[in-house]
Amino acid sequence: MDSGSKVIAISQYKPILGDLEKNIEKHIKEIEKAIDKSAELIIFPELSLTGYLLRDLVYDIAIESNNPYFDSFKKLSKKIDIVFGFVEKAKDKLIYNSSAYFSGGKLINIYRKIRLPNFGMFEEKRFFKAGDDLTPFKTDFGNTGILICRDFLFPSLAYSLFYKGADFLISISNSPLRGVEGEEYSSQKMWEDAGKVYSRFFSMYVIYVNRVGFEDGFGFAGGSFVSDPDGKIVFRAPFLEENLYFVNIDLSVRDKARSVYAYYRDEDFEQIKRFISEGKNEDK
């Protein structure tokens, strides 16, 4: 695994709702800017190729992972790793809320959102099938795991990635802002709380990338952040501002944390599996 200092680009992006081609054009411009600044990875938010409030538009905008639109991203990924979100039509024609990771000229990973929110203002289960696979993959940043939006609010998913050896966590999000009574949006605090806990106790870098802009009155907060294995927020983007941010991360901080704090070594995964397989208390 490579250690050392790396520049990553966080695109706190505002998509054009339901316009794949314009979003692809805009993505390519952002990627070119990131390449100019020698970033090694650029991350866009959830559903960045399409926008969030798609509803029936999902059927028109879903693409298969072998689509020709991805050719330009493959080409650009010879110079920079790229992550974005899109509506995926799988081989069986079912539709997923997915991310794509491009590196070295290839599409190396598709991740499908597992925990689809379906309450209050959310209706993702109406339009998407939930994913069922959680596998970290090798990149220049380590064993990389991806979680999409609400996935990140389930410590069990982050823990499963930790168990499977992930040490670099990318979380892409479309979190609608809500709660205006405190210092900042109350919805935002929960993302940072989760990020700080995962990065510290699972010894990972956590990169959380949230979108901005409004769709039918839903505002998306931005406030993308990076938290490090000391549990510190080392970068926080402003709320509501569309921009491309560059963050220096030092992977040796992570590697040191893994050696010294040794949470991975001292965890007993077999015991945890046994605890869970013993069943719930009320079953006894």
Partner 1 sequence: MKINSQLVEKTLVEFLKDEITKFGFKKGVIGLSGGLDSTVAAFLGARALGKENLVALVLPYKSSDPKNINDAVEIAGILGIKHYKIDITAQIDIYFEKNPTEDKLLIGNKIARERMSVIFDYSAREKAMVIGTSNKTELLLGYGTWYGDLASSVNPLGDLYKTQVFELAKYLGVPEKIIKKTPTADLWPGQTDEGEMGLKYEVADKILYMIFDQRKSKEFVIKSGFDERIVEKILSMVKRYQFKRTLPIIPKLSHRTIGKDFLYPRDWGV
Q: Does 214 bind partner 1 (CB under 8 A)?
A: yes
The token pair at 175 is 């979190």
Q: How far is the CB of 216 from partner 1 (least distance, A)?
A: 5
Q: Does 53 bind partner 1 (CB under 8 A)?
A: yes
Tell which residue, 194, 35, 8, 173, has the closest CA to residue 99.
173
Q: How far is the CB of 55 from partner 1 (least distance, A)?
A: 4
CA separation for the pair 188, 179 (Å, rounded): 9
One of 132, 216, 266, 268 touching partner 1 (CB under 8 A): 216
One of 4, 68, 217, 279 touching partner 1 (CB under 8 A): 217
Q: How far is the CB of 174 from partner 1 (least distance, A)?
A: 13
Q: How far is the CB of 139 from partner 1 (least distance, A)?
A: 34
CA separation for the pair 15, 26 (Å, rounded): 9
CA separation for the pair 16, 14 (Å, rounded): 7
For partner 1 (CB under 8 A), the number of binding residues is: 24
Q: How far is the CB of 214 from partner 1 (least distance, A)?
A: 4
Q: Does 230 bind partner 1 (CB under 8 A)?
A: no
Q: Does 120 bind partner 1 (CB under 8 A)?
A: no
Q: Does 101 bind partner 1 (CB under 8 A)?
A: no
Tell which residue, 81, 83, 111, has the closest CA to residue 97.
111
DSSP secondary structure letter of residue 190: H
CA separation for the pair 64, 164 (Å, rounded): 27
Listed in sequence order, the residues at least 6 apart from 113 whose beta carbon sits closer than 8 Å to its beta carbon are 46, 96, 97, 98, 124, 128, 130, 131, 148, 149, 150, 151
Q: Does 16 bind partner 1 (CB under 8 A)?
A: yes
Q: Does 154 bind partner 1 (CB under 8 A)?
A: no
Amino acid at 29: K
Q: Which stretch binds partner 1 (CB under 8 A): 67-75, 160-168, 178-186, 276-284?
A: 178-186
CA separation for the pair 216, 214 (Å, rounded): 7
Q: Does 117 bind partner 1 (CB under 8 A)?
A: no
Q: Does 219 bind partner 1 (CB under 8 A)?
A: yes
Q: Does 87 bind partner 1 (CB under 8 A)?
A: no
Nearer to partner 1 among residue 183 and residue 266 (C-beta): 183
Q: Does 17 bind partner 1 (CB under 8 A)?
A: yes
Ordered DSSP codes for 235-283: EEPPBS--EEEEEEEEHHHHHHHHHHT-HHHH--HHHHHHHHHT--GGG
Tell which residue, 265, 192, 266, 269, has the closest CA to residue 231.
192
DSSP secondary structure letter of residue 149: G
Q: Which stretch binds partner 1 (CB under 8 A): 104-112, 182-190, 200-208, 243-251?
A: 182-190
Nearer to partner 1 among residue 61 and residue 82 (C-beta): 61
One of 11, 18, 62, 150 touching partner 1 (CB under 8 A): 18
Binding site for partner 1 (CB under 8 A): 16-19, 53-57, 177, 180-185, 213-217, 219, 239-240
